Structure 1
Amino acid sequence: MVLVFTCLDDPTADMVIKHLNERDAHVARFDPGADFPADVELSAWCGEQHPRGVLTTRSRRVVLEQVRAVYYRRPTSYLSEGPSQVERFVRTQSRFGLGGLLAALPCPYVSHPWAINAAEHKPLQLATARRIGFEVPATLITNRADDARAFAAEHGPIVYKPLRATPYAGPDGEPATIWTAQVQLYDLDDSIGGAAHLFQARVDKAADLRVTVVGERVFCVRLDSDLLDWRQDYDRLAYTVIEAPAGLAEGCVAYLDALGLRFGAFDFALTRDGVPVFLECNPNGQWAWLEDATGAPIAAAIADLLLEEPS
């Protein structure tokens, strides 16, 4: 049995499940943060070396001892805001009960949720990348305007990027995204004191690299556009599957090993001298659009990893 944790509408997970079904794997898909306790029943005994028990969804009966792998994609948060203290209590108990149990299964994960949570923090990403030997832009995290201005004076031009993607609405109330953007000196006013901000030296790039790593398989795609942040307009991207620059594949695999991950979506800026500069690694990043655009067999690679025999 392979467990797939994700939200109801996730075509990316569907691609992996299709490959698992073609290999005659038994798959149980559910969204623990949304389906439990209304649509999922659980009984587990936890006083032994590994938990044992049964989890029953609307369509599957899962014997926990028979789970061979977990694909952790994009499940709903247990702690989404509820309208009452009672609902918040229920959600908290679900997170630490069901969530804690599922995180304790003695099987491979792609990737373990606790490893994903740690690896989403950009300071840890940058420090790990530097230890691995990647080039990393000068970076400042601060809420002091004076330090931000001094950083801009030393390393300019600089860019701003959010430390984590956060739901955000524009002046018209419509959902909006904060893209990586170049910052001018006059932007660095005292409003910086209201939160932590990440500023980074802008890389003079010739292109971007999106490097998707599944276990030890590396899929490197060059993205050409005229955008500072290529995510702003996918229609303006040109895609080329390339061999990873020397040392890059090995470095990415080492990065995942260092953080206990089995998947990573890396972003590098490629300088005009051909040097890849590490920007970030999303430990649970999107990849389906790359497979659609290039044919890179990423879904099949994830299915292979989930069905890999333990060493």
Structure 2
Amino acid sequence: MTAAARPVLVVAERLDPSADMVVDQLNQRDVPVIRFDAAEFPQQLTLSAGHAPTEPGRTGILDDGRRTARLEDVRAVCWRRPGRPVIADAVPGPYATWPQNQAECALLDVVAALPGARWINNPHHDRIAAHKPQQLVTATRCGLRVPRSLITNDPDAARDFAKQVDGPLICKPVLGGRLPVDEGRKLMVATHYVDPAAFDGSIRTTGHYFQEAIEKAYEVRLVAVADRVFGGTLHTSPEKARTDWRTDYEHITYGTVDVPEEIATGVRRFLAYYGIVCGSFDFAVTLDGEWVFFENNPAGTRAWVENHTGTGLPIAAAHADYVRGACE
């Protein structure tokens, strides 16, 4: 099989604009694509993978009912927050967890063992790279400035930290995600300002993530793909949006910015440390023009960065170029 005929697997939720854009770019390059959601396995997706002692990886087929790919021919995998496998209703609820875990492990481990395939991002690495508090330590080692932070369940430690900062404090989730509420709705836990005078025993209920508030001129969503970096700016006006721009999309003005070389170098070191290719980095740019790292989401949303900044940030094209180059 020629290199040009080798398919790319795109594993993502069906309603994922970022994945849609990458698929479109691959189609424009005449690269065959098989896109599926892990939630389709094992009911709609068929997997047969064997291994012999003399083979470098698993061989077999992956069939979504429309297209079939030989595992040994897959050139690259774009793995973007797919759903968990859905088990047939015939399996009673309490017993469905075991086959769901089996299916998830089977699919992931087979795909992870594909010989010679490139990844954006290998989910084993992606999972470790998503731990926010650890990211601050890594970012510092990579030469990036980070805010002073404290994770604690001790009210006295929180009060001492507030005295050390001697300025505005914010509290943010240690883990991303949303809280399930009534009637299927989900509530996002946003970054918010806190008053140290109100610190009390409730801090002991869990680990709290406190951080000094950075006075910023604007924020940057920096998307990195291998060696390429793209800077999308977010200028916000209301205080709510300035604290967490995800809470007020209507009051964001978007633009682009050239990423300083020292920041680009730090980001590349960060990716290399975790063994990942892609990341969506959040920075603040201070009034003095200094870049401050907040966090990185390895599988963060990025379609809006490209869509709101016109053709100036060809992020999806960079993904397509990276996976197309595998094994050529």
Q: TM-score range by the shorter chain?
A: over 0.9
- Hey, what does 1:15 align to over in structure 2? 21
Return 5+ residue gaps in structure 2 as ranges. 1-6
Rounded to whole Å, the distance in 1 between the matches of 2:123 and 2:216 is: 33
From 177, 184, 204, the equivalent of 1:166 is 177
Give the letter aligned to residue 269 of structure 2.
Answer: A
From 138, 141, 151, the equivalent of 2:151 is 141
Rounded to whole Å, the distance in 2 between the matches of 1:29 and 1:120 is: 24
Give the letter aligned to residue 233 of structure 1.
Answer: D
Rounded to whole Å, the distance in 2 between the matches of 1:288 and 1:119 is: 21
- Hey, what does 1:60 align to over in structure 2? 67
Match runs of 1:54-203 below 5 Å? 54-78=61-85, 84-106=93-115, 107-155=117-165, 156-169=167-180, 174-203=185-214
User: How far did 1:175 drift?
Assistant: 2.3
The one-character-per-residue Cα deviations of 1:179-224 (angstroms, maximum 9, x if unpaired) are: 1111101332211211111111111111111111111111112221
User: How far did 1:83 drift?
Assistant: 6.0
Answer yes or no: is the 8 Å Cα contact 2:284–2:293 preserved in 1.
Answer: yes
Return 5+ residue gaps in structure 1 as ranges. none
Answer yes or no: is the 8 Å Cα contact 1:160–1:180 preserved in 2.
Answer: yes
Moved over 3 A (4+): 169-174
- Hey, what does 1:220 align to over in structure 2? 231
Percent identical pairs in the alignment equals: 39
User: How far did 1:28 drift?
Assistant: 0.5
Answer yes or no: is the 8 Å Cα contact 2:75–2:326 preserved in 1.
Answer: no
Rounded to whole Å, the distance in 2 between the matches of 1:203 and 1:170 is: 31
Answer yes or no: is the 8 Å Cα contact 1:70–1:109 preserved in 2.
Answer: yes
Answer yes or no: is the 8 Å Cα contact 2:12–2:36 preserved in 1.
Answer: yes
1:3 aligns with 2:9: yes
Q: TM-score normalised to the size of structure 1? A: 0.94
From 44, 49, 53, the equivalent of 2:49 is 44
Match runs of 1:270-285 below 5 Å? 270-285=285-300
Answer yes or no: is the 8 Å Cα contact 1:5–1:30 preserved in 2.
Answer: yes
Q: Which moved more, 1:239-248 or 1:59-68?
A: 239-248
Answer yes or no: is the 8 Å Cα contact 2:40–2:86 preserved in 1.
Answer: no
Matched residue count: 309
- Hey, what does 2:275 align to over in structure 1? 260
Give the letter aligned to residue 294 of structure 2.
Answer: L
- Aligned CA distance change for structure 1 residues 192 and 78 (closer, same or farther; 3 Å): farther
Answer yes or no: is the 8 Å Cα contact 1:142–1:197 preserved in 2.
Answer: yes
Rounded to whole Å, the distance in 2 between the matches of 1:64 and 1:172 is: 41
Q: Which moved more, 1:246-255 or 1:130-139?
A: 246-255
Q: TM-score normalised to the size of structure 2? A: 0.89
- Hey, what does 1:242 align to over in structure 2? 257
**Secondary structure class of the residue paired with 1:100:** helix
Give the letter aligned to residue 19 of structure 1.
Answer: Q
